[in-house]
Structure 1
Amino acid sequence: MSTINYMQNQPLLVGHDRALFDAMPVAAIIDHNGIVVDVNRAWLEFGAQNNARTSGIGFNYFDVCESAKDECAQIAFDIAQGLRQVLSGESTQFDYEYPCHSPTQERWFNVRITPMMIEEARYALVMHQDVTRWKQTESALAESEMRYRLLAENVRDVISRHDIEGRFLYVSASCRAVLGYEPAELVGHDVHEFLHPEDRDNVWTEDDIATPITYRMRHADGHYVWMQTTMRPLSDPTTGKVCEMICVSRDITEQKRAEDALRQAHDELERRVEERTAELRDANEEVRRFAYIVSHDLRAPLINIQGFVSELRASLASVQDVLSVALPHLSDEQRQQLQTALDEDIPEAFDFIQSAVGRMDHFINAILKLSRLGRRELHIETIDLEELIESVLKSLAHQIVERNATIYLGELPTIRADRTAMEQILGNILNNAVLYLDPNRPGEIEVCIEQNERETIFRIKDNGVGIAEENKHKVFEPFRRAGNTNVPGEGMGLSYVQTLIRRHGGRIWFESKYGEGTEFIFTIKNNLTEDGYEL
């Protein structure tokens, strides 16, 4: 069969039919013998782009199909069979998708063959359409869907889709492990059917879209599982209205149990702390009351002793006057013994008694002072520490000069505390720092203060004699001296300091190396109320 050149033959379609034909994708009209009797503009352009030798009118479509080789042979055979079925009337339409890759890119085409009658003769309209972009989109969608399903089917969280009424449209396979249901058992059901009765009116509302929601959902075996769900709306692109919800739900039952256990433990701890605090407060009050009563009761006998000693001294003077008349009548030995008793032994005994009474009175005063410090109402006010510390140092100016000491002050902030208490605290610590400086070297005292959100930290460091290891346990004990006993004092200063610091919600400690110096560190709370309690 000879090939008829397109330029030597007229196209089959003309006029309006021609215009419609040229508007189609790559298309040709083939007669019952397989001869191409007409092609449209797209067919010619495709043939020119791909250097096809048989791109015009007159060639035999069946011959071209039969000459195909390699991977194209099966494709060509299938298309030829479809063309024969349409031309013979066995089929009214044949569709076939096939790859047609070029050296530079992958391409897919779809061929559609339909019968057409022209002047009572049966022809076949063959259209080849490039579906590469659609195929790529389809492939991308399939890959995306595969990844989505792979993710949805393998994650522990339950992924679900719901309509706006809350009905399940899709549920991932993880619902088996979390809720005990097969996905098919949930699809089509309203999520509210599975919610705990107390949660049905409170969750899965429009207000829940923005934030994760926590609720209880019924397990297949009847018990309830705590779930936390994050929702994301899907909107209809044409109306903009929300049409579906994508939900990711997680089983937080163990987390809720842990939270409940922690909350119960916290409540129990708070209760115990309150009970213990009340017990300690009562115990402290009893100790203060006991100290006050004991001190008061001890002072009365001391006053009596002091009074009787005075009376005895007066009586002794009367006795001496009477005995002065009798002395000449006594022997020398008797006179000497009596004189010694009256002039030395008895007055010396009176002096010892008065000295002991004086020391006991100092001790009682110290106990009373300590008791009052624990009971005195604090007056919290704003204090300029620079002004307060300078005032304290001014009162120690003479001792500082005597000890050849230099005072280094860091940045001094303002604080909220009881002014009288702070004067006593800083006065005692700075006084001790000066008193216990080493006389063999120039004294140095450094004051540093730091603040954080909760407390103010004071550091007062000296290069004095330091505290020996065996004496460190005595530092805060009442009536105990941890350093040079020749330094004046009753051993109560740091006991007072410790009590006042505790009243301010703080603590005190020290670091010391014998022969090198000591650093006292103490804190006070920042958030104290006017009555001295922490906010």
Structure 2
Amino acid sequence: MKTINFEALFSASPNPYVLVDLSLNIVGLNDAYLKVTMRERDDLVGRNMFDAFPSDPDSPSHRQLRNSFDKVIREKAADHIPIIEYAIPLPNGQGFEERFWSATHTPLFNHAGEMIFILQHTVDVTELHRLRALARSSVLPSGPSALIETDMFRRAQAVQEANQVLTEERQHLRGLFEQAPGFMAALSGPDHVFTMANAAYLRLIGRENIIGKSVREALPEVVEQGFLALLDRVYQNGQPFVGRSIRIVLEPDASGASEERFLDFVYQPIFDPDGKVSGIFVQGHDVTEQKRNEEALRESEERFRVIANSIDQMIWATQPNGFHDYYNQRWYEYTGVPEGTTDGEGWNDMFHPEDQDRAWRVWRRCLETGEPYHIEYRLRHRSGEYRWVLGRAQPLRDSSGRIVRWYGSCTDIHDLKHAQEETRRLAAMLAERVAELDEANEEIQRFAYIVSHDLRAPLVNVMGFTSELEAAQTEVERFYQHVLGRDPQLVTPAARMAVETDLPEAIGFIRSSTVKMDKLINAILKLSREGRRVLMPEPLSIGQLLEAQCQSVAHQLQERGAELIVETVPDLTSDRLAIEQVFGNLVDNAVKYLDPSRPGRIVVRGRDLGANVQLEIQDNGRGIDPKDFERIFDLFRRSGVQDQQGEGIGLAHVRALVRRLGGTITVSSRLGEGSTFTVVLPKYISLNSEAA
């Protein structure tokens, strides 16, 4: 058993203390104990209590002491002996001296709750016992002897009460020592032998049964790490050592797996009554997690700085109270101010004078409420110009929801803001122009309606008179034939020419012209009515609609030996009548202008463009001259050889309908190869954007 200097904790106590293990071997004692027993430390430490202080095993005092120790071991609770006779050997073999004691035996436990030692606290009551015996043997039953005995009992009671107080104090201190959140241990002598270690210390090193062992024996891995040298230095010079975040590598288990820890600790020298260092008290805290966390935070901050300095935006940060204490390099490059000059409230001077109060008012409200910061203001650029920026900030909160930092950014939106203003200006101009066009279109429609209506009235008269002329022509021809049969000499060449040629041609020309004019007027009226018709959006199956168109031109396709192929096309929501007229006209034109010199082929295909759909009608017909790409969409304008019936209204009507539906129509073509009409329409028609 290694020597344990128990005076590390009880050297200053005037009361005798001795520490024994469960085999009743003495493992520690203080100077007060050596004094009352008149013994040397080396003579007692390591010896059994009953060997060091022998007595007759059959004597009452021996049994009384043995029974107290056994009771403590059995019940794991403190036991008190009010008075026990126990002689102590005198120095130099001079015999034994009769002594009487009051003893308290207290169990001590390790962090696992196992009892490992018994602490004996003794009080020498020999004098008290002798006074009491003298009082009892006095011939006087009262008087001085009675007073002496009464005083003796007061002293005995006082001693007992003092013992109880000391025991409670000792237990309280022991409890505090064991329950302390920081680790603590007591080391004795130049070899730094463990005399005490609390639960936190044992958890730290990951091992038990270190009491009585030196640091070298209990923690061999720390020797090469310099901790033993530190202990030696403190023991030798008597100066405490304070360590902050000191790295230590421990090997807490038999597998040899090492564990890195970081400790804050103090090596405090313990002095004996002569002022010499007798041991070292170790106290500290495991700060490994904290160390791994300022490290994680430091790395996180470093990453933040690298990222913040690598982006084009200006980044800044503030304390919870809004005090600015960080800007990235972009801020200084953008503003051109020296570093640090905009810390705190200095950045307010960077705002345009007209924006300062507003920006501060918004910022203070965010600091009070914790709501995100979002504002546009003008910031002074290094050129001296005030440029518009977008300011944003978000609070960073801890686990309890408390704001610990604000992180914000400034984004230059000066060009964007001017572009937006220009866009709004152009949009206003466009809206005004569209309104003018709408008004003009309405006027044109009203004019077309009025003109067509006014044209129809005289046309009806012309057609009526033409009918009368045709009736008169019949009578003239009958009279002409009658004269010709009776007297051919009466018919002059001029009359013959007028009756047989000129009159029929004139009436036929008048008739064909009025029919053509009637069709034109009907077409104009139709366009006018279509422009005023309210669109009725509905989900449309474009594939079914085109199949219906195929059926309507099936006869013409068969006559021309042509085919019409409808590939997969996307659906949309639009006005059914308008869509039918658009694709009816386009398919009809494709069939009408096929090249008779080769088999005709018409293909309709489409694709989804997201918000829009695109539909194509491709043919291998005669084609269109590029110079006519635009004019074919004009009213009454046609392209190429005019060998097909038409008034030049169909494509104009198609473009008007497509525009009203919110779409566009274009054509691409090569003469002699064919044409492709491309229609782009919104997938969902918006009546608010109708273009008449």
- The TM-score with structure 2 as length reference comes to 0.54
- Give the corresponding residue for 2:445: 288
Confirm or deny that 1:511 pairs with 2:664.
no
Give how far 1:130 is off: 9.8
Name the counterpart of 1:525.
Answer: 682
User: What is the rounded CA distance, in whole Å, between the counterparts of 2:577 and 2:376 in structure 1?
Assistant: 58
SS across alignment from 2:563? strand
* Residue in 2 that maps onto 1:444: 601
Structure 1 counterpart of 2:319, from 161, 177, 180: 161
Q: Deviations over 1:244-273 (max 9, x none)?
A: 432212235x44x56654554444343223
SS in 1 for 2:588: helix
Q: Does the CA-based 8 Å contact 1:327-1:335 persist in structure 2?
A: no
Residues 1:194 and 1:248: Cα distance change in structure 2 (over 3 Å): farther
In 1, Cα distance between equivalents of 2:315 and 2:641? 72
Provide, for residues 85-132 of structure 1, a one-character-per-residue CA deviation record: whole Å limited to 9, x for no partner.
64xxxxxx5326599999x999999773535235xx332034385989
| Mapped partners of 1:433, 1:321: distance in 2 | 51
CA distance in 1 between partners of 2:574 and 2:248 (Å): 89
Q: Which shows bigger deviation, 223-232 or 318-327?
A: 318-327
Q: Deviations over 1:27-82 (max 9, x none)?
A: 2336xxxxx79775668443236889xx9xxxxxxxxxxxxxxx98xx979965x6
Instruction: Show the 5 A alignment for 1:244-255.
Output: 244-252=403-411, 254-255=412-413
Q: Which residue of 1 aligns with 2:18?
A: 15
2:658 is paired with a residue whose SS is: helix
Alpha-carbon offset, residue 284 of structure 1: 0.9
Tell me the matched-pair count.
472
* Partner in structure 1 of residue 638 of structure 2: 481
The structure-2 alpha-carbon separation of the partners of 1:371 and 1:51, relative to structure 1 and needing over 3 Å to count, comes to: closer
In structure 1, which of residues 24, 31, 47 is the aligned counterpart of residue 216 of structure 2?
47
Matches of 1:395 and 1:279, distance apart in 2: 40
Corresponding residue number in structure 1 for 2:546: 389
Q: Percent identity?
A: 27
- Determine if the alignment matches structure 1 residue 368 to structure 2 residue 368: no
Paired residues of 1:373 and 1:499 also in contact (CA < 8 A): no
Matches of 2:192 and 2:680 in 1, distance apart?
104
Q: Is the 8 A contact 2:322 2:406 kept in 1?
A: no
1:234 aligned to which of 398, 410, 414: 398
Change (3 A) 1:453 1:324: same
Partners in 1 of 2:464 and 2:378 — Cα distance? 89
**Deviation for aligned residue 1:413:** 5.9
Q: Deviations over 1:381-440 (max 9, x none)?
A: 444445443433333222122122233223466543333333322222222222223334
Using structure 1 for the length normalisation, give the TM-score: 0.67
Aligned counterparts of 1:385 and 1:417: Cα–Cα separation in 2: 10
Cα distance in 2 for partners of 1:297, 1:101 equals 108
Match of 1:432 among 581, 589, 595: 589
**Structure 2: distance between partners of 1:401 and 1:107:** 93
* Residue type of the alignment partner of 1:158: W
User: Who is 2:276 aligned against?
Assistant: 123
Structure 1 pair 376–96 and aligned structure 2 pair: CA distance change class (3 A): closer
- Secondary structure at the aligned position of 2:366 is classed as coil
In structure 2, what residue type is equivalent to 1:161? Q
RMSD of Structure 2 on Structure 1 (CA): 5.3
Decide whether aligned partners of structure 1 residues 466 and 232 sit closer, same or farther in structure 2, where only a CA change above 3 A counts.
same
Map 1:123-522; keep pairs closer than 5 Å: 123-127=276-280, 134=287, 140=292, 143=295, 157-162=315-320, 167=321, 171-172=325-326, 181-183=342-344, 196=359, 198-199=361-362, 202-204=365-367, 208=371, 212-214=372-374, 227-235=391-399, 241-252=400-411, 254-255=412-413, 261=418, 263-307=420-464, 335-411=492-568, 415-522=572-679
Determine which structure has more spread, i.e. the larger CA radius of gyration.
Answer: 2
Which residue of the partner structure matches residue 94 of structure 1?
240
Q: Comparing both chains, which one has the higher relative contact order based on Cα–Cα distances under 8 Å and sequence gaps of 6 or more?
A: 1
Give the Å deviation of 1:505: 1.8
Deviating more after overlay: 443-452 vs 524-533: 524-533
The one-letter code matched in structure 1 to 2:392 is: Q
Give the match's secondary structure for 1:475.
Answer: helix
Cα 1:169/1:147, change in 2 over 3 Å: farther
- Distance in 2 (CA, whole Å) between partners of 1:181 and 1:139 is 32
SS of the aligned residue for 1:337 comes to helix
Report the Cα distance in structure 2 between the residues aligned to 1:232 and 1:96, rounded to whole angstroms: 35
C-alpha separation in 2, matches of 1:374 and 1:506:
15
Contact (CA 8 Å) 1:461, 1:519: kept in 2 or not? yes
Shift of 1:280: 0.7
* SS across alignment from 1:15: strand
